[in-house]
Copies of this chain bind each other. A is one copy, B any other.
């Protein structure tokens, strides 16, 4: 069954406070620092399993204890409900972002 892809509204996007909208508005970005590589990779493993459930995967990079994540939907070339779902899951398991 094809999935319904919807574009989140501005209010929903701005509720994702830990995420940065790319300048072209087509992706969400978040960088997260962990205490060490093991914690970073444990986080990635949980996100990977959720991504498989959603059949929607992040573009991400890892350097030691840092993970840089980019969310976007290939099929639409922009941000969809799937990105918002994955972002909310990531926020639920990530350490809180540093205070501004």
A interface residues (Cβ-Cβ under 8 A, vs B)? 37-38, 41, 44-45, 48, 51-52, 57, 59-64
Nearest residue in B to A65 (C-beta to C-beta)?
B57
**Residue pair B64, A61 in contact (C-beta under 8 Å):** no
16 inter-chain pairs at a CB distance below 8 angstroms, sorted by A residue, are A37-B48, A37-B51, A37-B52, A37-B57, A38-B52, A41-B45, A41-B48, A57-B63, A57-B64, A59-B61, A59-B62, A59-B63, A60-B61, A60-B62, A61-B61, A61-B62
In the complex, what's the smallest C-beta–C-beta distance from A16 to chain B, in angstroms? 21
Nearest residue in B to A63 (C-beta to C-beta)?
B59
In the complex, what's the smallest C-beta–C-beta distance from A9 to chain B, in angstroms? 27
Q: Kindly list chain B residues whose C-beta atoms are within 8 Å of the C-beta of A45.
A: 41, 45
Nearest residue in B to A48 (C-beta to C-beta)?
B41
A45 to B40, CA, bound (A): 12
